[in-house]
Amino acid sequence: MVLDAGCGTGRHAVWLAQQGWTVIGVDGVEKPLREARARAEAAGVADRTTFIRDDVARLVNVPTNPPYDLIVDIGCYHGLRPDEQVSFAAWVTRHARKDADVVIHAVEPRSGIGPKGIDEATLGSTFGPGWSITTTPSTTTGGGPLRHAAFRWFTLTRTTTPTSRTEEARP
């Protein structure tokens, strides 16, 4: 099971469904979700995709059973406020299988308009123990306020299942 957080028009969710995954796409805006549903229908994967309007920082309407094998976030997490990042990380920690992966594509720390970005140390602190992190520079170039910004791929792999509240993502 895959969660595509901030799925927008469903491009990545549909591709993942075409690879055989069952995908839940979540976005806070209905218009791109309608486009995502149409895209999945046109691609013949509507039976493997579900698109839900929800707040990515809270995820109250998203199914939690079975646990997720993969969580994909392409350009959403870096735009969340720090408290929202903590909330998202805690939700993921509670609902990801052992050995699950979280793949985040985000802008590196920066100043100016738009997302302030994230770095490996902050991401590790936010997700807490039980996750290992690898990073890879991205070849993506941003547009608009992110023009010339450097992006990075972060892959977090679940190494343990929390046994107590203190092992979940840190506030």
The answer to whether the beta carbons of residues 80 and 111 sit under 8 Å apart is: no
Q: One-letter amino acid identity for 153? A: W
Strands (E), the chain: 2-5, 23-27, 49-53, 68-74, 96-107, 131-137, 151-158
The answer to whether the beta carbons of residues 42 and 110 sit under 8 Å apart is: no
User: What is the pLDDT of the chain when averaged over all its residues?
Assistant: 91
SS3 state of residue 62: coil
Residues with Cβ within 8 Å of residue 3, at least 6 apart in sequence: 23, 24, 26, 62, 68, 70, 71, 72, 92
Q: What are 55-114's pLDDT values in tens digits? A: 999 999 999 999 999 999 999 999 999 999 999 999 999 999 999 999 999 999 998 888
pTM: 0.90
Q: What are 13-35's pLDDT values in tens digits? A: 999 999 999 999 999 999 999 99
Q: What is the CA radius of gyration of the chain?
A: 15
- Enumerate domains of the chain plus CATH numbers: 1-63 (3.40.50.150), 68-171 (3.40.50.150)
Alpha carbon 102 to chain centroid, angstroms: 7
pLDDT at res. 161 = 64
